[in-house]
């Protein structure tokens, strides 16, 4: 199954200069809980961003795939050059962890969405691409410290 996880503010902001625009420990803990035993897929920009947090520590995932059109060898991840072929043919459970480009391209393949709604507006320059959430049904919702943790499944 292909799942996606992200946090966005009231304007659907998700990034600022290739970093998160905020620091919400509860959301980081939620992200870690839902990704630590997973095969994750991310774009090269998000990988570079994550590596600034994990300078001398290994990335905290079971398996790492990194999407990049250019040929590149990653010391701790596998290159996905043909994203659509990968999404169509993988038989693994994949959690997509960003960023904007990879969310946008992967959304048609996603069965489950883990969305953290930040109930505020922040400053930044990268927004989640608009899409129709009506294609998904809400299956779980928790509110904690100004954050809504919502899980959706694609309607059949
Ligand atoms: N709030 C959140 O939950 C959250 C989570 C993750 C990331 N973010 C934010 O998202 C932003 C980064 O997003 P981004 O869109 O700039 O970068 P990105 O999605 O992380 O990475 C884009 C990469 O995808 C590659 N790519 C594009 N099309 C492809 C295809 N068809 N097959 C394989 N690879 C392909 C590009 O390769 P080329 O370079 O060769 O074109 C590029 O390197 C940052 O600000 C980050 O902080 C937010």
| Domain limits, the chain | 2-154
Taking CA atoms only, the protein residue closest to ligand 1 atom 24 is: 43
Q: Ligand 1: does its nearest atom lie under 6 Å from the Cβ of 87?
A: no
Residue 98 CA: which ligand 1 atom is closest?
A: 6
Q: What mean pLDDT do residues 56-72 have?
A: 96
**Mean pLDDT score of the chain:** 97
pLDDT at 124 exceeding the cut of 90: yes
Burial of 75-106, coded b for 16+ CB within 10 Å and e otherwise, reads: eebeebeebeebbeebeeebbbbbbbbbbebb
Q: Is 27 helix (H, G, I), strand (E, B) or coil?
A: helix
Cβ contact 131:107 at 8 Å? yes
Q: Ligand 1: does its nearest atom lie under 6 Å from the Cβ of 70?
A: yes
Q: Ligand 1: does its nearest atom lie under 6 Å from the Cβ of 98?
A: yes
Q: Could you tell me the pTM of the whole model?
A: 0.96
pLDDT at 73 exceeding the cut of 90: yes
Name the residue with higher pLDDT: 56 or 129: 129
pLDDT at 156 exceeding the cut of 90: no
Q: What mean pLDDT do residues 12-35 have?
A: 97
Q: What mean pLDDT do residues 129-150 have?
A: 96
Q: How far apart are the CA of 30 and the centre of ligand 1, in A?
A: 21
pLDDT class for 23, splitting at 50, 70, 90? very high
Could you read off the pLDDT of 74-114 as tens digits, one per residue? 999 999 999 999 999 999 999 999 999 999 999 999 999 99
Which pLDDT value is given to residue 97? 98
| Fold for the domain defined by 2-154 | Dihydrofolate Reductase, subunit A (3.40.430)
């Amino acid at each position: 199954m292909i799942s996606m996880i992200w946090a966005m503010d009231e304007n659907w902001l998700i990034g600022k200069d290739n970093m998160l625009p905020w620091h919400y420990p509860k959301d980081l803990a939620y992200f870690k809980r839902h990704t630590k035993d997973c095969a994750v897929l991310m774009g090269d920009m998000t990988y570079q961003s994550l590596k600034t947090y994990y300078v001398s520590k290994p990335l905290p995932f079971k398996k790492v795939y990194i999407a990049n059109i250019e040929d590149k060898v990653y010391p701790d991840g596998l290159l996905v050059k043909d994203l659509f072929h990968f999404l169509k043919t993988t038989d693994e459970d994949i959690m997509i962890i960003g960023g904007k480009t990879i969310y946008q391209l992967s959304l048609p393949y996603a069965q489950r969405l883990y969305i953290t709604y930040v109930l505020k507006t922040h400053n930044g320059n990268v927004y989640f691409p608009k899409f129709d959430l009506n294609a998904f049904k809400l299956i779980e919702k928790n509110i904690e410290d100004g954050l809504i943790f919502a899980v959706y499944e694609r309607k059949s």
